[in-house]
Amino acid sequence: TKTKQTPAERHWVLTSLLFFLGWVFMYADRTILSPVQGVIRDEFMLTNAEVGLISSVFFIIYTAVQIPSGLMGDKWGRTKLICIGFLIFGCATALTGLVTTFAMLLAVRLLAGFGEGFYYGPQYAVSSDSTPAQYRTMSFAIINSGQAAGISLGLIGSSYISFELGLGWRTTFWLYALPTILIGLAIYFFIKEG
């Protein structure tokens, strides 16, 4: 006979879906820059080294924040920390569309990397703790596929919105910011820790 799943056992599906969407928008928000780098280089009259610095400051801070974010999540609550991170990098994504100088662009990309650094460790801790052992492989496959989906959404969306629709490079950043913030709030309100 088939045993009925408890609400806790069914909760892994919602957790997996929301964390999948978390990775989608993390990767989308970081890759929307790639198709429009040439336009940004021309607008701000940047050298190749300066264009490379835009991504470098993002990834340096993103990597540096991951270890303390794991410790902070254990102390103050993982989903709370994830939500704060999403609010930070969602706002930084929107602010990227408003920059008027190269220094401002570096600052908001650094801020985006800082916010995204709060996701990696706490997300894996929550998903491991809240997913029954028999569903972990499926859950992690769903969650991690968000990365590839996000890269596609970022590259295709940025190219299409900026060039095909002719809305300019800034519009993509504004359009992606809102769902990013909403995903962070959904993770906080709907995912139970442990």
The confidence band for 10, taking pLDDT boundaries of 50, 70 and 90, is confident
Determine the pLDDT at residue 192.
84
Q: What are the tens digits of pLDDT across the range 73-99?
A: 999 999 999 999 999 999 999 999 999
Q: Do residues 56 and 105 touch, judged by C-beta distance below 8 A?
A: no
Determine the pLDDT at residue 9.
67
Determine the pLDDT at residue 8.
62
Q: What are the tens digits of pLDDT across the range 24-35?
A: 999 999 999 999
pLDDT at 101 over 90: yes
Q: What are the tens digits of pLDDT across the range 39-80?
A: 999 999 999 999 999 999 999 999 999 989 999 999 999 999
Determine the pLDDT at residue 4.
66
The pTM score is: 0.93
Structure tokens at 168: 């300019």
* DSSP per residue, the chain: -PPPPPHHHHHHHHHHHHHHHHHHHHHHHHHTTGGGHHHHHHHHT--HHHHHHHHHHHHHHHHHHHHHHHHHHHHH-HHHHHHHHHHHHHHHHHHHTT--SHHHHHHHHHHHHHHHTTTHHHHHHHHHHHS-GGGHHHHHHHHHHHHHHHHHHHHHHHHIIIIIS---HHHHHHHHHHHHHHHHHHHHHHPPP-
Q: Do residues 88 and 114 touch, judged by C-beta distance below 8 A?
A: yes
The confidence band for 2, taking pLDDT boundaries of 50, 70 and 90, is low
pLDDT at 1 over 60: no
With a pLDDT cut of 90, the percent of the chain lying above it is 91
Average pLDDT over residues 159-164: 97
Three-class secondary structure of residue 167 per DSSP? coil
Determine the pLDDT at residue 110.
97
Q: Do residues 32 and 173 touch, judged by C-beta distance below 8 A?
A: yes
**Residue owning tokens 């704060």:** 84
**Residue owning tokens 């629709």:** 165
